[in-house]
Amino acid sequence: MRDRPRHRLARRAAAFTVAGSFAAVAGLAAALVPWSWVPGGHLVPKAAGDLFTAAQIARAERYSHVQRLLGWASYFLSLGVLVLLGLTPRGSRLLRRVAPFRRWWLAVPVGVLAVLLVERLVALPFSIASHRVDLRYGISRQGWLGLSTDQAKGLLVAWVTTSLALLVLAGVARRSPRWWFAWVGATAVGLSVAGSFLYPVLVEPLFSTFTPMAPGPFKQSIFALADREGVHIDDVLVSDASRRTTTLNAYVSGFGSTRRVVVYDNLLNDLSPGEARVVIAHELGHAKHNDVVLGTALGAVGSVGGVALLALLLDTDRLRRWSATTGPGDPAAVALVLALVAVGGFLVSPAQNAVSRAIEARADRVSIETTGADAAFVRMQQQLALSSLADPNPPWLSQLWRGTHPTVLQRAGLPASLRDAGR
């Protein structure tokens, strides 16, 4: 039998940890996230007809509609399979068959691989259909071999990182069945920071080749932009993205010594120098405000509460009975843990994406204010949308749940809205 007083104390501590962590995330977000997209004013989006022809709008809407259907179907089917495996005895029975090891530290990674493979196989027909659509519309330049290779690499990364996290969870839970959430929560903070720091140097090179931007007047103008924004950069890297896609993009990843500003090679080829500078100024805006650090901090603090909430759920007799597992230290509970994490990820997506959209809007403001190139900014948004066939008016629910950036019409309306606000 459980030691009831100590068990109740541990559950209370976990509940307080959940409340405290989520309150801390809310407080940090309220204080640090730039929620006002147009300080001192309000955003007036552009009309779709001001940016695109009727034919361009119709083509983008057709493409986006099909890809949304495929994406949502794949997502919910994968989520449903995880829930089926995690919240019924099917998952534990499967894992005991494929990972019948007496050593739990062998059974956990084998179990993780089994669940991830099932999830990927269920989603495979949708991935194939989605790639066919990309090829038909000219979005993708990647053949089936290249796509399969990238998918295999993605599976490998997911397997290694997920196995590491669940090995920590199971190992600590086996040694401290009541208080494991405290130790694992602290470890989650460290893993979140380490993952964000190491991702640019360990994971990104698996999928792309990076070379320093060629010397010349354009590169000198980028360093001048960085100086105006007060951002130190050692270099700007160019990714060989054109071998995979026609989509134009740039991004910032890492922090400290691993921070890098990356530009797609096709962005440099397809945009004018003025438009490309506006894109890079946006990315330098992320660096100026340490947005990677902000996102990492919010995720790390939130992970503490997430682990504590997971501990409360895994401690319930009903879930253990449904899943036919004995607790978080049971290797057969891998499917249950992954199912609960997936459901949690779905539920918090609107909040995460709201933060992301606000941060992206601030980076847009920095770009506009630094370059003063309002017209080039609007042209750049047009070109980015055309290259990716972005839907000018995505359904509000899709934008709420999956929109990490403002829509193209919102972004194109930002320069005029800032002028109207007196900035």
Return the domain boundaries, the chain.
4-211+279-420, 212-278
The neighbour count for residue 121, using CB atoms within 10 Å, is: 11
Q: How far apart are CA 150 and CA 157, in angstroms?
A: 11
Residues of the chain with pLDDT below 70 are 1-3, 423
Residue with tokens 């979140």: 192
Long-range contacts of 104-109 (CB under 8 A, 24+ apart): 104/170, 104/171, 104/174, 104/329, 104/331, 105/167, 105/170, 105/171, 107/331, 107/332, 108/163, 108/166, 108/167, 108/170, 108/331, 108/334, 109/159, 109/163, 109/166, 109/167
Question: For residue range 380-407, what is the model confidence (pLDDT) as tens digits?
Answer: 999 999 999 999 999 999 999 999 999 9
Do 157 and 202 form a contact (C-beta atoms < 8 A)? no
Nearest-CA neighbor of 207 among 153, 248, 254?
153
What pTM was computed for the model? 0.94
Q: Which two tokens stand for residue 253?
A: 């990843």
pLDDT at 1: 42
Please give the single-letter amino acid code of residue 209: T
In sequence order, the 6+-apart residues with CB closer than 8 A to the CB of 324 are: 89, 92, 93, 332
- For the segment(s) 212-278, the CATH number from 3.30.2010.10, 1.20.120.530, 3.40.50.620, 3.40.50.300 is 3.30.2010.10
Tell me, what's the pLDDT at 7?
A: 81
Count CB neighbours of 368 within 10 A.
Answer: 23
In which element (H, E) is residue 236 found? strand 236-239
Q: If we measure between CA atoms, which residue out of 234, 309, 242, 265 comes closest to residue 15?
A: 309
- How many angstroms separate the Cα of 269 from the Cα of each of 20, 246, 263, 352? 49, 11, 11, 33
Q: What is d(CA 343, CA 362) in angstroms, rounded to the nearest whole number?
A: 30
Model pLDDT, residue 100: 78
Task: Please tell me the distance from the alpha carbon of residue 163 to that of residue 182, in angstroms, as a whole number.
Answer: 19
Question: What are the structure tokens assigned to 310, written together?
Answer: 């997971």
Contact between residue 275 and residue 222 where contact means Cβ atoms under 8 Å apart: no
